[in-house]
Amino acid sequence: MTHLLGRWPRLFVRAEVINEDGRLDLEVFAKLKDPVGENVVKILWILELKALADKGSTGSKVYDTTIRAAIKKGLGQALAYREAQHGNQIALCCFDMRATNLTDAEVFKEIATEANDNDVRLWRWYLYRSTEEAREAKRAAIKTAKAAGV
């Protein structure tokens, strides 16, 4: 929330908004005036957040089927919350903490068409397990780009 408010200081953010379909994670909105001067709240973004991990909080293995189910559930939640809140834009935001850094296409392959058809943004951030691993990934990307002549 702090990052969003810092990036867009004229907007507002609410977390864990309860509606008839459940509890949405983040809602970004603006306080505006309508054409006749009445105060209105315009919901600009609804963000559904998911953490993808290969181990649970107790260290037990989280299976791929469970992760895929969570991603599908996240898409369903985002769609329902947009409808319930009359939001303009929605995004499914996945923080990927698994050992293997898959591509976005691999992570979202089962929902990509439905998300596209319903104007849902699919965003994913891979969270490296160490700064050393992050540096090595950057190094590999630079090496690949140079080999491709970019």
Instruction: Give how far the C-alpha of residue 91 lies from the chain's centroid of Cα atoms, to the nearest Å.
Output: 5
Is residue 145 very low, low, confident or very high in pLDDT (cuts 50, 70, 90)? very high
Q: How many domains, the chain? A: 1
**122-132: average pLDDT:** 92
User: Which CATH number fits the domain that encloses residue 27?
Assistant: 3.40.1350
Is residue 40 very low, low, confident or very high in pLDDT (cuts 50, 70, 90)? very high
Range of the domain at 116: 2-147
pLDDT number for residue 129: 82
Residues 114 and 146 sit within 8 Å (Cβ to Cβ): no
Q: Which amino acid is at 146?
A: K
**116-142: average pLDDT:** 93
Q: Does position 5 have pLDDT exceeding 90, yes or no?
A: no
